[in-house]
Amino acid sequence: NVDDTDTDEKMTFADLGLGPEVQQIVQRLGLTEPTKIQKKAIPNIISGTNTIIQAETGTGKTFTYLLPIINQVLKWKPQLDRRPNTPIALILVPTRELVLQVATEAKKLCNGLDIGIKTLISAHTKKMIQNPPVDDVDILIGTVGITSKLTTNRIYSLRQVRHTVLDEAHALFDETFELKLSIFLERINFGYRQAQLRKTHCSSQLTMASATMPEELPAYFSKIIDMPSLVKIQTENVHKVLVPQKFWRLGPDQKPHALLRFVKPRALRKEGTIIFSNSTATADWISIFLKEMNVNAVALSGDQPTEIRRNMYWDFRNGKVHILSATNSSARGLDTITVDCIINYDFPMDTADYIH
C-alpha cells in the first residue's frame, strides 16, 4: 500500500515518465501540475505494475490510467501485428453513461493522434453480431455484459490486450456483475508485471480504479492474477467525506413537500442537483412529481433504453436540465463537476453508495 503523504513536492507531467507526445497532450489541455494521485500512480502504471488506484471523486483518476495507456499504445502499436477489432487496451465500466464519459475524455486526449477508440454499449448489439464492424481499434471501452457478448461471438478479440482497466471497480465487484466478470477476466492472460526487456508484452497489465474498495478482493481474483503483484495506491483523504452533510428526519408524507421546497429555488438558480433513490420506480416518480410542480427534471435508471438514458444524461451534463433523479447504481462514477448538492431521498443501502 502506498499513500500520498510524500507527494506535495512540485512536479510536472514530464517528471512522471510520460513520452513527449503525451506531454504535448497535457500542455495542449492546459494541465500544468498533476494531482496527488497522478504523481504517485502514473509512474507505477508506466512501469508495468498491476495497480489499484483509490482516490476520492474529482482527483483525476480517469486521466491517471488514460495517460499511461495512451503512452503505451503509441509505443506498442507500431510493434504489434494486429488484425482489425483487436484492441491493445480494454476499459470495463459498470454503466453505459460511464462508457460515454470515459470515451469522451479518451477522445479529447487522443485528438490528432493515430489511436482508434471504440465504445460498446447495449444498443445495436444484434446488428453488430449479424454485420460485424471492421475497425482499427486500439482502445476498447464498454460495459461488462456487452463486451463479454461481443468478444465471445468473436466480433472483438482479446488476444492482443496488453492493459485492462476496471473503472469504478467496487461497483463491478457487485453480485450483479460477479459471474460475468469472473468468467470474462479468466479469458485474459494477466502477468505478474509487464516485462520491460521485451519490445511488447505477452500478458496484460491490470489497473483498477475506484473511490471505494473492499478490504478483500473477490475470491475469483486469486485464479486470474498473482495477488502479491497488485500495488494499492491511495490518497490520504480517501476514507473521508469532505463535504457538509445535513440530515432531515421526515415521515413518508413529508418528504415530497420538503424536496420540492428545497429543489425548486435551486432549479431557478440553475444549480446542478442530483436526487438519489433506491429504486427505479422512486426515481421515475420524483421526476414526474417535480415536472408536475413546474420543475424541469430528468430521471436516470438502468431500465431505460440506451438512447433515452444517453440523451437525458447529456441534457443534465450540458446544463439543459439542472435536476437529475437517479438510482444509486445508474449514476455511479459519473462526472458531476457541475453538481454542488446531492440529495438522498432514500437512505443508501450501504456505506459505499453513500460515499460515492
pLDDT tens digit string along 123-177? 667 788 888 888 899 999 999 999 999 999 999 999 999 999 999 998 899 888 8
Question: 257 and 225 in one domain?
Answer: no
Question: 149 and 297 in one domain?
Answer: no
Asked whether the whole model's pTM tops 0.85, one would answer no
Determine, yes or no, domain membership for 39: yes
295 or 236: which leads in pLDDT: 295
93 band by pLDDT with thresholds 50, 70 and 90: very high
What is the rounded CA–CA span in Å between residue 192 and residue 205? 8
Q: Is the model's pLDDT at 26 over the cut of 70?
A: yes
Determine, yes or no, domain membership for 3: no
Domain that includes residue 41, residue range: 13-234
CB of 82 closer than 8 Å to CB of 134 = no
Question: 176 and 293 in one domain?
Answer: no
86 band by pLDDT with thresholds 50, 70 and 90: very high
pLDDT of residue 62: 94
Question: 290 and 226 in one domain?
Answer: no
| Helix 144-152 × helix 175-185 angle, to 10° | 30
Determine, yes or no, domain membership for 242: no
Q: Is the model's pLDDT at 199 over the cut of 60?
A: no
What is the rounded CA–CA span in Å between residue 185 and residue 219? 13
pLDDT of residue 174: 82
Q: Is the model's pLDDT at 73 over the cut of 50?
A: yes
What residue ranges in the chain does DSSP mark as E strands? 51-54, 89-93, 117-120, 139-143, 163-167, 205-210, 231-234, 272-277, 297-300, 323-327, 339-344
- Domain stops at, among 204, 234, 264: 234
Question: 111 and 166 in one domain?
Answer: yes
DSSP state of 47: T
Percent of the chain at pLDDT > 70 equals: 88
Of 55-59, 122-126, 226-230, 345-349, the range with the lowest mean pLDDT is: 122-126
Of 237, 211, 185, 214, the C-alpha closest to 334 is 211
Question: 279 and 316 in one domain?
Answer: yes
What is the rounded CA–CA span in Å between residue 51 and residue 319? 35
What is the rounded CA–CA span in Å between residue 326 and residue 311? 14
Determine, yes or no, domain membership for 240: no
121 band by pLDDT with thresholds 50, 70 and 90: confident
pLDDT tens digit string along 208-252? 999 888 888 999 999 999 999 999 998 876 655 667 889 999 999
What is the rounded CA–CA span in Å between residue 213 and residue 229? 17
Determine, yes or no, domain membership for 6: no
71 band by pLDDT with thresholds 50, 70 and 90: very high
Question: 199 and 85 in one domain?
Answer: yes
Name the average pLDDT for the chain.
87
What is the rounded CA–CA span in Å between residue 55 and residue 87? 27
Determine, yes or no, domain membership for 5: no
DSSP labels for 200-255? S-SSBEEEEEES---SS--TTHHHHS-GGG-EEEE-TTTT---S--------TTTH
Q: How far is CA 305 from CA 96, 97, 124, 145, in A?
A: 10, 12, 11, 15
Q: Is the model's pLDDT at 341 over the cut of 50?
A: yes
What is the rounded CA–CA span in Å between residue 11 and residue 22? 16
Residue type for 88, please? I
Give the number of domains in the chain.
2
What is the rounded CA–CA span in Å between residue 64 and residue 59? 9
Residue for grid cell 482479446: 158
Question: 261 and 160 in one domain?
Answer: no
What is the rounded CA–CA span in Å between residue 221 and residue 218? 6
Question: 94 and 169 in one domain?
Answer: yes
pLDDT of residue 54: 92
Q: Residue 202 maps to which CATH number?
A: 3.40.50.300
pLDDT of residue 188: 93
Question: 327 and 217 in one domain?
Answer: no
Question: 92 and 161 in one domain?
Answer: yes
Q: Is the model's pLDDT at 356 over the cut of 90?
A: no
Q: Is the model's pLDDT at 196 over the cut of 70?
A: no
Of 296, 264, 302, the C-alpha closest to 283 is 302
Region of 20 please: left (phi>0), alpha (psi -120 to 50) or beta. Answer: alpha
Q: Is the model's pLDDT at 37 over the cut of 50?
A: yes
Determine, yes or no, domain membership for 127: yes
Q: Is the model's pLDDT at 350 over the cut of 80?
A: no
Question: 280 and 227 in one domain?
Answer: no
Highest mean pLDDT among 60-74, 108-122, 129-143: 60-74
Q: Is the model's pLDDT at 195 over the cut of 50?
A: no
